[in-house]
Amino acid sequence: MLVRMTRITVIRGDITTQDVDAIVNAANERCLGGGGVDGAIHRAAGKKLVEACKQLPEVAPLVRCPTGSAVITPGFQLPARFVIHAVGPRWGMNDAPALLASAFRTSLDLAEREGLKTIALPAISCGVFRFPVGQAARIAADVSRERERALDEIRFVLFDEDTCDVFGRAFWGDAWRTSPEA
């Protein structure tokens, strides 16, 4: 019997340049762009991305994607075919760790439902939402490993070396730099 193994990688890089089936956008509930990863993805994808996001139905006034969930759009001018917009919590919100786990989980679940095989994720909520990077990395590692997935690769793409190191250690401990996945 063959056992499917999802490859997990952690790299330093620019998520907008990743040649994968989908990249995950650290979005806000409106899904209309913002700063950090969200702004970079919207700029790289082009104006059609915001138009596609405007077509997403509001589930509450000014909310197209509630905190802890994810929605999908085409990638337009990105190398990735799709953008999965995941809304993580602001640090200090009630149930922030559970909401962040849900944002990571629903992103991976959505990729599987769409039949995608490769996905790149950022450090959701660790920028302007101020979630502690170490705690976010442990949550990302736990969610990525909680069950076998029908994905070939889950790639965490972190913008700076410090964040990359924290995520690498969350997955592989002190040996992460010698891991073949690193």
Which residues are tagged catalytic?
Answer: 38
DSSP 7: E
What SS3 class is residue 100?
helix
Q: Up-side HSE of residue 97: CA atoms within 13 Å toward CB?
A: 8
Asked if 106 and 27 count as a contact pair (C-beta separation under 8 A), the reply is no
Asked if 116 and 151 count as a contact pair (C-beta separation under 8 A), the reply is yes
- 47-54 helix and 36-45 helix, angle to the nearest 10 degrees: 110
Distance CA 96, CA 67 (A): 9
Instruction: Produce one character per residue of 80-113: b if its CB has 16 or more CB atoms within 10 Å, e if not.
Output: bbbbbbbbbbebebeebbebbbbbbbbbbebbee
